[in-house]
């Protein structure tokens, strides 16, 4: 029995039954870049979302599912090299402030020519940051978590609806 943290309407749990299910959550183009985390045991339960980095740090993966989706969806982000200028600032998903160590551009390949970049926490630790910030400010994190899920959902919607010009 996993511990359940109650957040009113923002509880978001799903489970992944097999390696095949995990892989198939990703698009073909992302499956080619997919390096699974070591030591994963199936089935496993996910609270909120599941994210990991491959060892070189170039790719970060995100696995997410909103309650009204049939299947979890995954995406591979590529860390975008910026031309010398360090990027930092506000994460566009959780509003955490950080240096270029923590926050930067992660890009998603929409097709072989087009990528979209998101200025977000490199390790997609947004939910932990929201919980920490809310705890420090004595606020209920629910509203911020809902916004985070909305933004994550939007990313996958953009991917699904992307049509090359
Ligand atoms: Zn963030």
CA 2 to ligand 1 center in whole angstroms: 25
In a domain, 20, yes or no: yes
Torsion of CA 68, 112, 19, 94, to 10 degrees: -50
**What is the residue range of 81's domain?**
10-161
In a domain, 2, yes or no: no
pLDDT the model gives residue 85: 64
pLDDT greater at residue 135 or residue 9: 135
In a domain, 71, yes or no: yes
In a domain, 1, yes or no: no
CA 165 to ligand 1 center in whole angstroms: 30
CA 153 to ligand 1 center in whole angstroms: 15
CA 100 to ligand 1 center in whole angstroms: 12
In a domain, 69, yes or no: yes
In a domain, 3, yes or no: no
Q: What are the DSSP calls for 11-65, one per residue? A: --EEEE--HHHHHHTS-HHHHTT--PPTT--SSEEEESEEEEE-TTSSEEEEEE-
* Residue-wise pLDDT tens digits, 71-114: 999 999 999 876 666 667 899 999 999 998 899 899 999 998 99
In a domain, 124, yes or no: yes
In a domain, 55, yes or no: yes
* Residue-wise pLDDT tens digits, 28-81: 999 999 999 999 999 999 999 999 999 998 999 999 999 999 999 999 999 987
pTM over 0.95: no
**Domains: count for the chain:** 1
Residue with tokens 């070591």: 38
Stretch 104-128: mean pLDDT: 94
């Amino acid at each position: 029995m996993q511990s359940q943290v109650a957040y009113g309407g923002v509880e978001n749990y799903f489970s992944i039954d097999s390696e095949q299910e995990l892989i198939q959550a990703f698009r073909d183009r992302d499956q080619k870049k997919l390096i699974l985390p070591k030591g994963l045991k199936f089935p496993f339960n996910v609270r909120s979302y599941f994210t990991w980095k491959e060892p070189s740090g170039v790719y970060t993966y995100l696995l997410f599912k909103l309650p009204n989706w049939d299947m979890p969806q995954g995406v591979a982000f590529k860390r975008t090299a910026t031309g010398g200028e360090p990027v930092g600032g506000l994460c566009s998903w959780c509003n955490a402030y950080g240096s270029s160590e923590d926050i930067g551009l992660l890009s998603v390949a929409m097709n072989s020519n087009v990528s979209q970049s998101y200025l977000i926490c490199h390790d997609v630790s947004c939910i932990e940051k929201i919980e920490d910030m809310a705890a420090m400010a004595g606020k209920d994190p629910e509203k911020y978590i809902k916004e985070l899920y909305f933004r994550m959902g939007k990313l996958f919607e953009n991917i699904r609806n992307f049509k090359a010009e």
